[in-house]
Structure 1
């Protein structure tokens, strides 16, 4: 599961922008073989007076924490590609905001600590995972 926690100040994302970004994120993961329902995107609006960078409140800010559980980057080069992909995905959605402070990080969490609907997800690239992707839901395997 990739889970994207997107914290932002008011005015950065409206309903349409949230839907577009969440769809873009999900589309990417589907292209690499993950079931669409693995992808969770959470938007958390934070008041300007509660969003501090360098000890000072900011008017326009976005901070994103991404948890990767279903797949891991194999090496340093793969991690760099992932960071560049995230940057490339975000820039079109954020470029319209002059003076915006934005940053992200990606964590890789052990898949041994993950369940969906009480089920341990199938092994990566397995027939069972492909079935989950086609069904877009969990099932016993």
Structure 2
């Protein structure tokens, strides 16, 4: 799950902006692919005169705090590419409107996460492919934890 918390000045984003931005964020994660329902975006309005950067009032600043659990980013090159990709996703709402911004990502352990009481299935497993298609969490079997490209003899995966 990526959880995005967006701290923004009151009135800086309309309801339509919030919907559009959350769709852009979801689309970039769905391209990985991960189930769309993994993506949660929360907008937190900050009242005027309540944001300070470097000890100075800054009413044109937007902070993006991202927790990623569903995937971890291996290596510096992929991490840089991902940060630049996310900066492009948010650019129309920050850079193009004259705001300063900051984005940070925390990667939380995958095994300390559940959805509707279900432990998310492994990456590229049959169960995850089903979750992507159905766009919801649901129980899955041991056999569905296997990678989609792994072919086993009938009955072996259920042992």
Instruction: Please provide the CA RMSD for this pair.
Output: 1.0
Counterpart CA distance in 2 for 1:101 and 1:25 is 19
Counterpart CA distance in 1 for 2:18 and 2:47 is 17
Q: Which has the larger radius of gyration?
A: 2
In structure 1, stretches of 5+ residues that fail to align are: none
SS of the counterpart of 1:112? coil
Give every structure 1 segment of 4 or more consecutive aligned residues whose post-TM-superposition deviation is greater than 6 Å. Answer: none
TM-score by length of 2: 0.84
Establish whether residue 134 from structure 1 lines up as the match of residue 136 from structure 2. no
Partner of 2:3 in structure 1? 3
SS of the counterpart of 2:138? coil
In structure 2, stretches of 5+ residues that fail to align are: 141-159
* Structure 1 residues 1-141: aligned runs within 5 Å: 1-98=1-98, 100-141=99-140
How many pairs are equivalent?
A: 140
Greater length-normalized contact order (CA 8 Å, ≥ 6 residues apart): 1
8 A Cα contact 2:94 2:100, kept in partner: no
The answer to which structure has the higher helix fraction is 1
Counterpart CA distance in 2 for 1:84 and 1:96 is 15
Q: Give CA deviations for 1:36-70 in whole Å, capped at 9, x if unaligned.
A: 10000000001122211111221221000111100
SS of the counterpart of 2:64? strand
